[in-house]
Amino acid sequence: MGYRVAVIGATGNVGREMLSILAEREFPVDQVVALASERSIGREVSFGDNDILRIQELASFDFKGIDIVLSSPGAKVSAVHSPRAAKAGAVVIDNTSHFRMDPDVPLVVPEVNPQAIAQFTRKGIIANPNCSTIQMVVALKPLHDLAKIRRVVVSTYQSVSGGGKEAMDELFNQTRAVYVNDPIVKEKFTKQIAFNVIPHIDSFMDDGSTKEEWKMVVETKKILDPSIKVIAHCVRVPVFIGHAEMVNIEFERPISAGEARAALKRAPGVAVVDHRQDEGYVTPVEVAGEDSVYVSRIREDSTIENGLSMWVAADNLRKGAALNTVQIAEALVKGGYLKKAA
């Protein structure tokens, strides 16, 4: 016997991945409901290899009797429906930016701050961090435990799937257009994304940073340690799935590349592939479909005291989104936080 689970945004990139990971990891379910907006009604999505779920309308869905909600629609939709589901008695794991910085909502990466899960009782909601933050903090945590991080400078190389299905289509269509000499059509991205890179993800803030960059700063502080200083540079690249990050770290005490490599090898959720030779590192194309956060190119930075650099790559739809939400659900079950399955 298992739990009754609802997935909000079930037709999106992350929603479909949530359904597939729930099935793949054999999450104990009695019933799975796939919810989306009115325009998706009648569509079907797969749950595992054998089950097909018909999309139900989110707006009119009654959450009574649902134990867990995994939610990944737009932030405005979550703002309305996640509290509605929590009020009906479900525990909501929300993948939008809406609740992440709410002091009464824990922001959780199970390998980093599992203890925060217990705070879900305040609002019945747990927030899933932004994809680029998740993979970075999984790799930073074992290093912070080793030598206390003072400052992080991160540059991201983010795939278009982070922007949704339309963004993936735009990369595909523009790439094709370049080859057949058709006009480049821009809808989702502000500049051409095919054969280009764009230093702009999400809206601009007053200080000149983008919201994506701001998220990496404030979320890292909330999850890992408020004393860590972070500056982020977030860049969209013409890759379909898999985000990569070049992370430069300043510690309180010296730490060798060897010590860092050993700590990362022991860390949960991390895979180290770091051979100083051709192919001795991992790229986004290779991490698509994988669960781990891959760390490569670990080296000391002699330009600052106690400095280290590393390359971090992960599947943004899995560990950066759907997998992390399912892992939170698993932690809720393991921690005895949910009503015992009937």
Tell me the binding residues for phosphate.
100
Residue 141, CA distances (Å) to 48, 118, 241, 264, 294 in order: 33, 20, 24, 9, 14
- Total residues binding ligand 2RA (CB under 6 A): 9
Q: Among residues 129 and 142, whose Cβ is nearest to ligand 2RA?
A: 129
Categorise residue 279: left if φ over 0, alpha if ψ from -120 to 50, beta otherwise. left
**Known binding positions for NADP(+):** 11-14, 39-40, 161-162, 316
**Known binding positions for substrate:** 158, 236
Place of tokens 């795939």: 159
Task: Choose which of 212, 213, 274, 315 interacts with ligand 2RA (CB under 6 A).
Answer: 212
Residue 283 near residue 296 (C-beta atoms within 8 A): no
Q: Of residues 81, 98, 144, 243, which has the active-site annotation?
A: 243
Q: Choose among 131, 79, 89, 124: nearest CA to 106.
A: 124
Q: Of residues 81, 98, 131, 144, which has the active-site annotation?
A: 131
Residue 275 Cβ, how far from ligand 2RA at the closest point, in Å? 29
Which of the stretches 31-39, 44-52, 124-132, 192-200 binds ligand 2RA when contact is defined by CB under 6 A?
Answer: 124-132
Q: Does the annotation count 234 as an active-site position?
A: no
Q: What's the rounded Cα separation, in Å, for the pair 109 and 123?
A: 18
Per rule CB under 6 A, is residue 73 in the interface with ligand 2RA? Answer: no
Residue 308 near residue 249 (C-beta atoms within 8 A): yes
| Dihedral sign for Cα atoms in the order 84, 89, 92, 98 | positive
Residues 316, 71, 186, CA angle at the centre, nearest 5°?
55
Which of the stretches 158-166, 176-184, 244-252, 267-275 binds ligand 2RA when contact is defined by CB under 6 A?
Answer: 158-166
Residue 35 near residue 61 (C-beta atoms within 8 A): yes
- The residue with its CB nearest to ligand 2RA is 162
Per rule CB under 6 A, is residue 158 in the interface with ligand 2RA? Answer: yes
Q: Among residues 5 and 131, whose Cβ is nearest to ligand 2RA?
A: 131
x/- contact string, 281-320, with ligand 2RA (CB under 6 A)? -----------------------------------x----
Edge-first strand order for the sheet with 68-71 is 56-57, 29-36, 3-8, 68-71, 91-94, 125-127
Which of the stretches 64-72, 104-112, 129-137, 247-255 binds ligand 2RA when contact is defined by CB under 6 A?
Answer: 129-137
Per rule CB under 6 A, is residue 133 in the interface with ligand 2RA? Answer: no
Q: Write out the residues near ligand 2RA by the rule CB under 6 A.
A: 130-132, 158, 162-163, 201, 212, 316
Active-site amino acid positions: 131, 243
